[in-house]
Chains A and B, each alone.
Chain A
């Protein structure tokens, strides 16, 4: 899901006519002070990162003066939350809160639903996981007709909303449900939804996640890469996206998994298909190795696409090995993978990564032919002293053998690592 920061999500909510506090984003402490001065009243300074628990992380502060806003912003902008630097703060008018509510819409894939699910609670402001079950009111939304006013009234009555407030809440909820669909959201969470002392309803926070598959029909969002990243977008992620962006013939997915390109024990990871990837990860986790990246070349991609993905995976600095994790009896013809791998390994190993452990598991349709292509094409590299001396090729005998493949990779990477260390000592 393409996730918006709070200020971005609120901006889109405001454009759709939903009630948002007055606020502006600031990238420096000076800007934060200027914004606070313009408001001329107490403000909230809120660090903008993709993470929950911002209050606990100390990056949400309520202050009374522009100078204090500057101080707060200075501190917040020097913070890291879960490894992510805070690059912006949202400076907002401080709300006078009468009561906090919780409200969200998510996708409900359950067999008896297959619809959006609206959740509402009179217990707002805290993590929804810690709200008692009987205080969460749920309603599956009709995917065709959306939320009707009468359904919203029913939900609010169940949740104990006062009669005089029903109109305010139901108007808000029906608008929110419409926005959820209009913007192709996967998750839209308002927590807290605030009723102020002035009896106004206001979205005090906003978590908006757009469905990756729908990003292309929302050019207005300006989302460059419609993928979920564990951290900030890396060069590898951008290259990975460019492979997919220009070629729809099968999947050629590639993204960083948080590898710092220095730490030992990371493997260039090249699974084929999501299920296979899951088993490959089990193989690595079994033996304490870690994936440097995530990749996927399933859905019958052309050889050139597989080649580009494999080359990027292998080009990552300081990986301790490469795993072509074909943990499946593929229906797609696997010789495209064999051809691509021969080309990549012949290009990469001799000059750039001699001796790199490369465990190649390729099973399924056209397996025999594919393994023959690999063995023949890599024979010259695979001599005892050759740059491909740690290439091992496996087929269907090991298709689900995650433990064996993991152990092979571990053993080879240990030897490789030792060789690297000794090479440094000797050189």
Chain B
């Protein structure tokens, strides 16, 4: 099982002919993702790694029917109309692998998608992978890398960092756990799908026995996770690692949301909120599988140094 992305999910790429668009199309196809088409206005009729190119998303829908996922590779300043096009064509899930989108465009597109019944993951998400089934976005790199480090298993992974959405599956694998689905929430201060939304998805997924979160200082995403646990909507084991716990107040990073101000969004506040509702806090990422193993049996025997 796993959440959101599955073997049969019908996936398209908006911006399929660009540097990243075409390369990621190749990797996604090789991994087994059901990529049925892509768009690049004016380039209809071309083929990118076996995937037919169309002018618009509507053209793809006319040929193949409803679309489950659109993965977008266009510059941030052009993202809004690209997302609106996907919404208008009825695409259910939209994953813009795009940074540098104006914040007003982001809030606009999230509201627009909500009205149209679509869901946005990100923007600024590097994607979602359900090992053994499908990947959307950059996640997993090439197929060799993905097969080596994203091992099928029972732990759902949510990461606020693109890079760390590879690290957590790696430490889990080292500790004897595989992953059901890995989701990168996106790096923008406003994202269409929050950590708490993903916890609800993982709660409903029978293949997921517990969830590991890579969290960061700043914002209130982690505090919201504590709220859905407190309300009884999420009941499985949860382990959270909070990066930036050592940062002095006021230190800033390129993740726009990571500004520590007056205790709100601080590591302390997040750790307190999670602990209070029975979530476990990992001091280091390598503690994550150790803590999970306190309540869950391992997915497989640990075979160190064998890759």
Does B244 interact with chain A (Cβ within 8 Å)? Answer: yes
Which chain A residue lies CB-closest to B138?
A331
Given the interface pairs A111-B196, A111-B224, A114-B110, the reply to whether A274 lies near B139 with Cβ below 8 Å is: no
Does B107 interact with chain A (Cβ within 8 Å)? Answer: yes
Q: Which residues of A269-291 have CB atoms within 8 Å of chain B's CB atoms?
A: 272-279, 281-282, 285-286
Stretch at the interface among B30-38, B59-67, B232-240, B248-256: B248-256
Q: Would you call A278 and B244 a contact (CB within 8 A)?
A: yes
Stretch at the interface among A85-93, A96-104, A154-162, A212-220: A212-220
Q: How far is the CA of A399 from the CA of B172 in the complex (A)?
A: 13
Stretch at the interface among A15-23, A36-44, A294-302: A294-302
Stretch at the interface among B47-55, B87-95, B183-191: B183-191
Q: How far is the CA of A400 from the CA of B100 in the complex (A)?
A: 28
Given the interface pairs A275-B160, A331-B139, the reply to whether A286 lies near B246 with Cβ below 8 Å is: yes
Does B9 interact with chain A (Cβ within 8 Å)? Answer: no
Given the interface pairs A144-B108, A400-B285, the reply to whether A110 lies near B224 with Cβ below 8 Å is: yes
Interchain CB contact (< 8 A) of A273 among B102, B162, B256: B162
Given the interface pairs A213-B76, A285-B248, A400-B167, the reply to whether A109 lies near B219 with Cβ below 8 Å is: yes
Q: Which residues of A110-125 have CB atoms within 8 Å of chain B's CB atoms?
A: 110-111, 114-116
Give the interface size bracket for B toward A.
35 or more
Q: Would you call A278 and B163 a contact (CB within 8 A)?
A: no
Does B220 interact with chain A (Cβ within 8 Å)? Answer: yes
Interchain CB contact (< 8 A) of B189 among A107, A184, A251, A400: A107
Q: Would you call A331 and B166 a contact (CB within 8 A)?
A: yes
User: Closest Cβ of chain A: how far from B85's Cβ, in Å?
Assistant: 16
Which residues of B are found within 8 Å of A327, using beta-carbon distances?
163, 167
Q: Would you call B247 and A281 a contact (CB within 8 A)?
A: yes
Does A211 interact with chain B (Cβ within 8 Å)? Answer: yes
Q: Would you call A213 and B166 a contact (CB within 8 A)?
A: no
C-beta contact mask, B118-143 vs A, less than 8 Å → 1, else 0? 00000000100000000000111110
Q: Would you call B107 and A115 a contact (CB within 8 A)?
A: yes
What number of residue pairs across chains A and B have CB atoms under 8 A from each other? 183
Interchain CB contact (< 8 A) of B166 among A142, A184, A286, A329: A329
Which chain B residue lies CB-closest to A211?
B103
Does A248 interact with chain B (Cβ within 8 Å)? Answer: yes
Which residues of B are found within 8 Å of A282, using beta-carbon distances?
243-247
Name B's interface SS: loop
User: Closest Cβ of chain A: how far from B41's Cβ, in Å?
Assistant: 19
Does A129 interact with chain B (Cβ within 8 Å)? Answer: yes
Q: Would you call A331 and B140 a contact (CB within 8 A)?
A: yes
Given the interface pairs A109-B190, A213-B101, the reply to whether A333 lies near B141 with Cβ below 8 Å is: yes
Which chain A residue lies CB-closest to B220?
A110
Which residues of B are found within 8 Å of A296, using beta-carbon distances?
254
Which residues of B are found within 8 Å of A365, using beta-carbon distances?
141-142, 145, 166
Q: Would you call A275 and B159 a contact (CB within 8 A)?
A: yes
C-beta contact mask, A320-334 vs B, less than 8 Å → 1, else 0? 000000011111110
Q: Would you call B258 and A278 a contact (CB within 8 A)?
A: yes
Give the interface size bracket for A toward B.
35 or more
Does A253 interact with chain B (Cβ within 8 Å)? Answer: yes
Q: Would you call A331 and B163 a contact (CB within 8 A)?
A: yes
C-beta contact mask, B74-114 vs A, less than 8 Å → 1, else 0? 01110000000000000000000001111111011011100
Which residues of A are found within 8 Å of B220, using beta-carbon distances?
109-110
Q: Would you call B253 and A294 a contact (CB within 8 A)?
A: yes
Does B164 interact with chain A (Cβ within 8 Å)? Answer: yes
Which chain B residue lies CB-closest to A111?
B194
Tell me which of A142, A181, A327 has the highest count of chain B C-beta atoms within 10 A of its own C-beta. A327
Interchain CB contact (< 8 A) of B20 among A111, A129, A251, A300: A300
Does B286 interact with chain A (Cβ within 8 Å)? Answer: yes
Which residues of B are found within 8 Å of A402, using beta-carbon distances?
284
Q: How far is the CA of A299 from the CA of B262 in the complex (A)?
A: 31
Q: How far is the CA of A332 from the CA of B224 in the complex (A)?
A: 31
Tell me which of A108, A273, A286 has the highest count of chain B C-beta atoms within 10 A of its own C-beta. A273
Does B202 interact with chain A (Cβ within 8 Å)? Answer: no
Which residues of A are found within 8 Å of B170, using beta-carbon distances?
329, 396, 399
Q: Would you call B216 and A115 a contact (CB within 8 A)?
A: no
User: Closest Cβ of chain A: how far from B261's Cβ, in Å?
Assistant: 9
Which chain A residue lies CB-closest to B262?
A129
Does A58 interact with chain B (Cβ within 8 Å)? Answer: no
Does B19 interact with chain A (Cβ within 8 Å)? Answer: yes
User: Closest Cβ of chain B: how far from A331's Cβ, in Å?
Assistant: 4
Does A249 interact with chain B (Cβ within 8 Å)? Answer: yes
Does A191 interact with chain B (Cβ within 8 Å)? Answer: no
Q: How far is the CA of A115 from the CA of B110 in the complex (A)?
A: 9
C-beta contact mask, B134-175 vs A, less than 8 Å → 1, else 0? 000011111001000100000000011111111101110000
Given the interface pairs A275-B243, A331-B141, the reply to whether A400 lies near B216 with Cβ below 8 Å is: no
Does B217 interact with chain A (Cβ within 8 Å)? Answer: yes
Q: Would you call B214 and A214 a contact (CB within 8 A)?
A: no
User: Closest Cβ of chain B: how far from A21's Cβ, in Å?
Assistant: 28
Interchain CB contact (< 8 A) of B103 among A144, A213, A281, A299: A213
> What are 14 A-B pairs with beta-carbon distances under 8 A?
A116-B107, A143-B108, A213-B101, A214-B103, A214-B105, A276-B161, A278-B258, A299-B99, A328-B164, A400-B167, A400-B171, A400-B285, A400-B286, A401-B284
Which 5 residue pairs of A and B lie closest in terms of their CB atoms, listed nearest first? A275-B161, A328-B163, A273-B163, A214-B102, A143-B107
